[in-house]
Amino acid sequence: MDYTSSGVNIDAGNEAVDRIKPLVAKTFSPQVLTGLGQFGSFFELPSGYHQPVLVSSTDGVGTKLKVAIEANQFDTIGIDLVAMCVNDLICSGAKPLYFLDYIAVHALDPQRIETIISGMVSGCSQANMALVGGEMAEMNDMYRPGDFDVAGFCVGVVEKSGIIDGSAIREGDTIYALPSSGIHSNGYSLVRRIFSTESTRQNWRVSVQELLTPTTIYVSAVETLLKNYAVHGIAHITGGGLVENIERIVPQGLGVVIDWASVNTPSIFNTIQKAGTVSDDTMRRVFNMGVGLAIITADDMSDYPDAYPIGRISRD
């Protein structure tokens, strides 16, 4: 017996690494001190901070991967992975620094790995963040043929005095929405149940491409907002929806009031609700409903083109 017969192909792993090395190198900044292949990744902390605080975040893509697997389309999943991690990170006001990934598969397909990583490279480029390393695990007795899972981890830095944690939120603050690109990467267990067959998707005119629309990365938008407004809180709208995610950062004694009529909801959510006969409460708790990021401030942000008001902070 040899290792290949047990389901692990070292040569395929080496080929995958060779394919992704030039892709990953495109994301490197001057602070990256090592290339792929070392046992650890070295990143030099940027200068200019008086009291730098490191901020970290980790996440996955969930069952959106099943949609990609069934469609044999893997070029956007890497963007989703980066987005889910970095959109959490920037809620604290942190600047993203570097990203690492973990890919677990039934069997290594170097070309598929290259496609997935190319998506991560695109996401890291959008976030102005280096992809410094990762891990590929081949486990044919853990995953079915064709199946895989991905996880990501990112680190950022913020000046201690500039940390945004919601403590500055006050009664009367306005909640502004930054639009989502669609479903993003939450609620796919319900989406897949509703659109479980190709005929169902065709009947409701829902394409796989629409379901795989990548999650928006808000790094550039938040950077601009922090330079021009006094931001009291930022919430990434994922599972739990608008209210629950904003409530995570609102000080005790204050509440969240959403004007649902003002929320610009993409048509995909109306289709999901009608096709699955889903209640308003469930929709608003499972999905972002068109709001990818919520910004809380006392400032008037009407001159920022991508933001619009959807609610306010109230006294409980």
pLDDT surpassing 70 at residue 6: no
Alpha carbons within 13 A on the beta-carbon side of 230: 8
Quick count: other Cβ atoms within 10 Å of Cβ 203?
11
Q: Which CATH class is domain 4-162?
A: alpha beta
pLDDT digit string, tens, across residues 83-96: 999 999 999 999 99
Percent residues over pLDDT 70 in the chain? 97
Q: What is the pTM of this model?
A: 0.93
Contacts of 283 (CB under 8 A, 6+ apart): 269, 272, 273, 289
* DSSP per-residue codes, 152-167: EEEEEEEEGGG---ST
**Per-residue model confidence (pLDDT) at position 200:** 85
Asked if 4-162 and 174-315 have one fold, the answer is: no
Binned at pLDDT 50, 70 and 90, residue 183 comes out as very high
Q: Are 101 and 35 in contact (CB under 8 A)?
A: no
C-alpha 187 chain-centroid distance: 13
Q: What is the distance between the terminal CA atoms of the chain, rounded to a whole angstrom?
A: 67
Binned at pLDDT 50, 70 and 90, residue 201 comes out as confident
The domain segmentation of the chain, as residue ranges, is 4-162, 174-315
Binned at pLDDT 50, 70 and 90, residue 111 comes out as very high
Average pLDDT, the chain: 93
Q: Which CATH class is domain 174-315?
A: alpha beta
pLDDT digit string, tens, across residues 306-315: 999 999 999 9
Q: Are 148 and 109 in contact (CB under 8 A)?
A: no
Token representation of residue 282: 């469930």
pLDDT surpassing 90 at residue 23: no
Instruction: Report the candidate in 47, 56, 141 with the shortest Cα–Cα distance to residue 99.
Output: 56
Token representation of residue 165: 């944690």
